[in-house]
Structure 1
Amino acid sequence: MFWAALLDFFCIPFIVFISFMIILSAVNKSVGVRRAYVKLLLKIFEFGRLSIESAAKERQKLVGDTIFNNSQERKLDEINLSFCKKTGRTIPTTNGNTLISRDSVLLPTSNEPAASDIESPPKDEEMRFNLEKCLDYIKAGVESIIEDEVTSRFEAEELKSWNLLTRTNRHYEFISWKITLIWMTGFAVRYFILMPLRVFVCFVGVYVAVVANSLVAMIPFEFLRHPCADLSFKITFRIMTRSLSAVITFHNTEYKPKGSGFCVANHTSPLDVAILSTDCTFSLIGQRHGGFLGLLQRALARASPHIWFERGEARDRHAVAERLKQHVSNPNNPPILIFPEGTCINNTSVMQFKKGSFEVGGVIYPVAIKYDPRFGDAFWNSSKYSMMQYLYMMMTSWAIVCDVWYLPPMYRQEGESAIDFANRVKSVIAKQGGLVDLVWDGQLKRMKPKKEWRELQQVEFAKRLKGD
């Protein structure tokens, strides 16, 4: 009897709390607990920063400024060199800033050159070596070896101050007993309270998605099925984002995507889909998956017009373009949510947009997404972590805090190529999100540069050696 009473004492409030939270998320309301939680975290982070700075000043007094600075710089260099040797990667940078300030010598143009447009290298007898003319070119090459602009975009974004979460080599959690106590308390809260609660709410969200979309699919009247499908779509992702303690701030809601077309956004994480879908209904596009993602895809497809491709079909650009045109031509369909980068970038930059969705025609709704890295690193390094590992890291983070900016709709201008249009949209998104606008293709992390790009560099180098 005692244990039954004790179990009821804990279970009933827990069930009531979970039910209340799910109902609030379904109707997109909040009582302010998450935002108060985020403000409390900021105060704790600030206290940690001040404690670290005071500890560093005390150590400087004991050891001496010169000796301390030199030893710390050597230690940092040793750590960075060790990191590079072990991983074969360049040193990560902070907030998209590079360690090297370089001038661009030659970058790939927006319009890929044809093979006939590339000049053949001059013959040996016509070559006049002028090494001085190409020293800056050689310097740029060495700088790219030390730190290229692509690899650093696929490493975790570094923070200006410790957030009691990021793994470092400095062991900040042991500089004082107060910081140690806060760190241990935070560890216990994240792993033993927040994570089980978040996992449970996430499974509830998947269950709601399966049941709600199955019920909507059985509605025979189209005029009633559409609003019910929109509601079930939003409720599904609202519950899932609440499972991550997500705090999302939407700006410029008057530009929210409406009607058919393409919603184009920068890509940092698979969570981008869930975050945008809490405020607007989209048609999703992507490859068919198995497991957890496959279950969610099949559930959503029962009630909404989503576009899922088999792996082989997705490689057929004409088939993809035809499916997109058919979808956009129907004004009753919701806008298609697309991430033209094709891969996740580490929340500091926007890389080359693929031109496919900009060739189809129709309106483009640009959206900029920027995460606050102080509460958790939302970037998914797919070459390092599996989907389940990534979800585990998100479930054990403090929270997911981000800003979303809706931008005015954009149209392809007369005589404008699809590549130029894609670059124009990319520039607008980068500027609004405070991101670095890069010309490089994000797929360079998986494949070698195109032959045309290498030939451009060879021709440029030959011209400089010749003295042109």
Structure 2
Amino acid sequence: MFSFFILFFLLIGVLVLLSAINKSIGARKLYVQLLLKIFEFGRANIESSQRHDEIHTESKEAGDEKCESALEEKNGGVTCNGNSVISRDNVLQPVTDKESSSNIQLEPKNVQVSFQLEKCLTYVKAGVEAIIEDQVTSRFEAEELKNWNLLTRTNRRYEFISWKLTIIWMIGFFVRYVVLMPLRVIVCFIGVIWLTVCTSVVGCLPEGDKKRAIVHDVLGHCFSLLSSAISAVVYYHNIENRPSSGICVANHTSPIDVLVLMCDTTYSLIGQRHGGFLGLLQRALARASPHIWFERAEVKDRHTVAERLRQHVSDPKNPPILIFPEGTCINNTSVMQFKKGSFEVGGIIYPVAIKYDPRFGDAFWNSSKYSMMQYLYMMMTSWAIVCDVWYLPPMYRQEGESAIDFANRVKSVIAKQGGLVDLVWDGQLKRLKPKKEWMEMQQIEFAKSLKND
């Protein structure tokens, strides 16, 4: 037992040392490749069991497998795994302010109107579709997997299909909860302490190019160590487009988006000022590099936020500021409406697309369902967090282009690169009711459809 603890802490020491020198021996990538082989073995066993059991072939799992191939062609490439099984018409969609003002026109009072019942069918169809599966709430649920990943976070009892899968699942349960989880918790604790101490020390250095270089290296080491706490494997693409200044915007899936990006380069962060332990981390980071922290009352003041952003962007020596324009976490199957605030500031916009591989662990944080501690528990008991990051070419606001159009153009580029569905809906519908203007606009469009040309 004593030798076990010595080996355990020796392993932690090696992790800290490798993070300190920013090196990797490739163990995590080998670990991921091994998991893929185990998942493939499990998939083959499940399919074999289903072929020999009529109950399983008639179950929902078999229907889901057929659904993807059948509906992909029918629905223009949108599959079951993309959280959409309905082909929708462009009705009941939110519109921009420009479109809204051009479409709202007063009708003459003396127009003869003849009602036709079939005119209502389009909107009845849209209503039924929304009841069955709307495009908003489905984006705040975990992405459905095509193959089981040996995690018990499902209502399907795959682990009991065969004795081979049962044994593999039991071994995996032991590895995740008895070996990996304690190791990850200790690494996370050491990483947070190390980050706090290092940023506090570096913050005492005089301002200048030397300090910025040291901060870049120190933050890279600290976040690399923290990434070990979730066994993160990140693949960075097109690093020639890596942001060096200006504003960096990315799709938002999880709080660990910051961790994933900070492992590669240094960013300035923007957010609300907190107290307690989180406030301690914010103050430590602020001493090491320029960040923008707002008081609660200032967050709602758009002019204050925009002015602080302009001041930050105007200094080319400042690191790029990282912003998630969606304003909430989406389940990594789509990109939802970008808030226009960060696109009104001016300057260079660096788009970044982040796509997580859900086979190893679900990185999406459903804040309305799980607390931060529950989310961290799920991360540390998952197999790993594997994702791809694409740095896209810098984009500029064109002459005469509105901030909304610019935001939509950037969002479209990110969605296309990440293989995500580009949606026009506001992610805040997760918590708020639809805007009154949207409902009024649809009422006007519905009234027009009831009239004969």
The verdict on a shared fold, with TM-score over 0.5 as the criterion, is yes
- 1:65-464 equivalence runs, <5 A: 72=59, 94-111=80-97, 118-120=104-106, 126-259=112-245, 261-464=246-449
Residue 302 of structure 1: SS of its match in structure 2? Answer: helix
1:44 aligns to 2:29 (yes or no): no
Structure 2 counterpart of 1:17: 11
Structure 1 residues 112 and 391, CA, compared in 2 at 3 Å: closer, same or farther?
A: farther
The structural deviation recorded for 1:167 is: 2.2
- CA distance in 2: counterparts of 1:362 and 1:102, whole angstroms: 37
Higher mean alpha-carbon deviation, 407-416 vs 223-232, is at 223-232
Aligned-partner SS, 2:138: helix
Secondary structure of 1:283's partner? coil
CA contact (8 A) 1:263 1:336 kept: yes
Decide whether the 8 Å contact of 2:19 with 2:222 is kept in 1. Answer: no
CA distance in 2, matches of 1:203, 1:275: 18
Q: Greater CA deviation, 208-217 or 24-33? A: 24-33
1:207-250 CA distances to partner (integer Å, 9 max, x unpaired)? 11111111111113523222122222222211111111000000
| CA displacement, residues 267-301 of structure 1 (integer Å, 9 cap, x when unaligned) | 00000000000001100001123455333222211
Q: For residues 418-460 of structure 1, what are the alpha-carbon distances to aligned partners after superposition, in whole Å with 9 as ceiling and x for unaligned?
A: 0000000000000000000000000011111111110111001
1:465 shift after superposition = 1.6
8 Å contact kept, 2:203–2:284: no
| Deviant stretches of 4+, over 4 Å | 73-77, 112-117, 120-126
Q: Distance in 2 between matches of 1:32 and 1:116?
A: 57
Q: Deviations over 1:108-143 (max 9, x none)?
A: 223356679633577698542122233223212221
Instruction: Provide the secondary structure at the position in 1 that maps to 2:388.
Output: strand
For residues 56-76 of structure 1, give each alpha carbon's deviation from its aligned partner in whole angstroms, at most 9, with x where no partner exists: 11113xx6xxxx655x25998
Does 2:50 match 1:56? Answer: yes
Output aligned runs, 1:28-43, within 5 Å: 28-43=22-37
Query: Is contact 2:92–2:126 with CA below 8 Å preserved after alignment?
Result: no
Matched with 1:90 is none
Task: Call closer, same or farther: CA 1:240–1:94 in 2, change over 3 Å.
Answer: farther
The alignment covers a number of residue pairs equal to 439
Summarize the Cα distance change of 1:114–1:134 in structure 2 as closer, same or farther, 3 Å threshold.
closer
Amino acid in structure 1 at the alignment position of 2:203: A
Matched-pair identity in %: 69
Q: 1:230 to 1:128 in 2, by over 3 A?
A: same
Secondary structure of the 1:361 match is coil
2:115–2:451 Cα contact (<8 Å) kept:
yes
Between 1:331-340 and 1:114-123, the stretch displaced more is: 114-123
Q: Separation in 2 of the partners of 1:192 and 1:13?
A: 15
Amino acid at match of 2:357: D
Q: Please give the TM-score of this superposition, normalised by the length of structure 2.
A: 0.92
- 1:317, CA displacement in angstroms? 0.4
SS at match of 1:392: helix
* CA distance in 2: counterparts of 1:423 and 1:166, whole angstroms: 38
Q: For residue 394 of structure 2, give the secondary structure of its aligned residue in structure 1.
A: coil
What is the CA–CA distance in structure 2 between the aligned matches of 1:117 and 1:47, rounded to whole Å? 56
Deviation for aligned residue 1:12:
3.3
Alignment CA distance shift 1:361-1:182 (3 Å): same
CA distance in 1, matches of 2:237, 2:408: 23
Residue of structure 2 equivalent to 1:89: none
**Does the C-alpha gap of structure 1 residues 294 and 76 become closer, same or farther in structure 2, counting only changes over 3 Å?**
farther
* CA RMSD between the two structures: 2.2
Gaps of 5+ in 2: 65-78
In the aligned structure 1, how far is the partner of 2:28 from the partner of 2:102?
59
Task: Please list every run of 5 or more consecutive structure 1 residues that lacks an aligned counterpart in the other structure.
Answer: 1-5, 78-92
- Residues 233 and 300, structure 1, Cα contact 8 Å, conserved in 2: no
Shift in Å at residue 107 of structure 1?
Answer: 2.1
In 2, the alpha carbon distance for the partners of 1:447 and 1:112 equals 23
Distance 1:439 1:114, change over 3 A: closer
Q: Distance in 2 between matches of 1:33 and 1:356?
A: 42
Q: Which amino acid aligns with 1:419?
A: I
Range with greater deviation from structure 2 (223-232 or 143-152): 223-232
* Separation of aligned partners in 2, 1:266 and 1:116: 30
Structure 1 residues 217 and 168, CA, compared in 2 at 3 Å: closer, same or farther?
A: closer
Q: What is the identity, as a one-letter code, of the residue corresponding to 2:8?
A: F
Report the secondary structure of 1:367's partner residue.
Answer: strand
Q: Quote the Cα distance in structure 2 between the aligned partners of 1:17 and 1:239.
A: 13
Distance 1:74 1:270 in 2: 32
Find the residue that maps to 2:283 and give its secondary structure.
Answer: helix
Is the Cα contact below 8 Å between 1:350 and 1:436 reproduced in 2?
Answer: yes
Q: Is the 8 A contact 1:266 1:339 kept in 2?
A: yes
